[in-house]
Amino acid sequence: MPRGKTGKHNREGAPLPVAPILQKFLKTYEKHCAQTQTSVCPAIRKDLKTSINSEQVLRKFVLVRPDDSQPSTLPISLEPLLMTIRDECYTLGQQICIWGLELSNPEIARLASLLELKGHATCPLTTLELIDCKMDLWSLGRLGQALQFSSLHSLVLDYCRFESEEMESIFSGLENNHRLQGLSLRYCGLGPRSGPLLGSVIRQSAICELHLDGNYLQCSGALALLRPIAEYAEMRGRGPPATASPHSTSPPPALPARQRGSSTLNQMTKSSGTVKATSGKKRRKNGIKRKIKGLTEAGPWLVKLYLADNGIDGKGKDGENSLLEFTQILTCLIKYSAHLRELDLGNNVLGEMAAVDILEALRARKTGKLPVLKVTVTPQISSDTFGSIWKSSNKSNVTRKRKKKFKN
């Protein structure tokens, strides 16, 4: 029989076989489902049996209602799974993914209690996915409170529809959150009013990867989101060379409020002249990688930003003026942000003028010796501009190194 991966140990310190642990877990889960008059989730049962047969630790629980379920079938509930994790003291799980369920207040309350235990949790979760789930205002508020004290590194709320008040409830636990690094809010019905909330969250948290595809932020909402990030990047880029060690795990200190207020972005004028590099290329790259990996301080640290299909064009309330203002903020971010590595603007009809500005910003970024930024734009622009943007944002550092070695 193959040797299994384990996480628990006996008194002598030797690892225990994982199969008996999971067999007992499955039995307890089925018992709790029977007690609560709910159905056993087929996906949970299948994953447990697969892990038992292969003697592999089960770290990801996927709770999903089967497509062929009948109205007379007992509902699938999150509560029996959480009760089992507690009763079995299961410490090996890291991810809980819930798809397409209507979550009750008691279920959210139990989930929140599990999240709030932080490093002392029975199951110290690092990833929580609530996809296409229905929750009322109380549940969102309770979940938001728990996020402040959780160990989560990634939170996915795709296809969960949010109104303004509901957004405020969930975002209350994201501000000043120094642990969460990934946030996904795809197709959540977010409008322009969500922009300032998102900007505030990014400014006061450690989130460095943000997925907002399929919403309707428009120019004004996207502008409110990008402004604090761009202002910070510009001040860093125009400031004196960094003196911190490139191997430091702490992010650069935040700029004083008076320096942020003097940014040219507040006056909405385009920056001109050559972009100044704050440090050497190799030095900057290594330093940023280490900072992102151990990020613990709040600040606008976006590394990946996905804004595809958000109605960012010149057709909104303020028309072309709003698009121009957004483009100014966007190009400043591209030119100066040493952290940003991926930017997706697909399915937003920015137009030829904005695309040309993006291309020029990418060239200025290269002049400033910043890391390569992958930019995705809609092909509804001239083929020359689209091709130039694609080439400018897809030249990897590996290719450059190989060419250099070849020449030598």
Q: Are residues 343 and 337 in contact, defined by beta-carbon separation less than 8 angstroms?
A: no
The larger pLDDT score, comparing residue 198 to residue 267, is at 198
pLDDT in tens, 286-317: 444 434 444 456 678 799 999 999 999 977 66
Residue 273 has pLDDT above 60, yes or no: no
State what percent of residues in the chain have pLDDT above 70.
Answer: 75
Distance CA 230, CA 225 (A): 9
pLDDT given for residue 372 in this prediction:
94
Instruction: Write down the residue that tokens 């460095």 correspond to.
Output: 208
Among the residue ranges 33-42, 50-59, 66-75, 246-255, the one predicted with the least confidence is: 246-255
Which range in 13-27, 197-211, 295-309 is most confidently predicted, on average pLDDT?
Answer: 197-211
Residue 152 has pLDDT above 50, yes or no: yes
Distance CA 398, CA 293 (A): 21
Sheet holding 182-184, edge to edge: 60-64, 95-99, 127-131, 154-156, 182-184, 209-211, 304-306, 342-344, 374-376
The larger pLDDT score, comparing residue 224 to residue 73, is at 224
pLDDT in tens, 232-264: 999 888 765 443 333 333 444 444 443 443 343
CATH architecture, domain defined by 174-407: Alpha-Beta Horseshoe (3.80)
pLDDT given for residue 106 in this prediction:
96
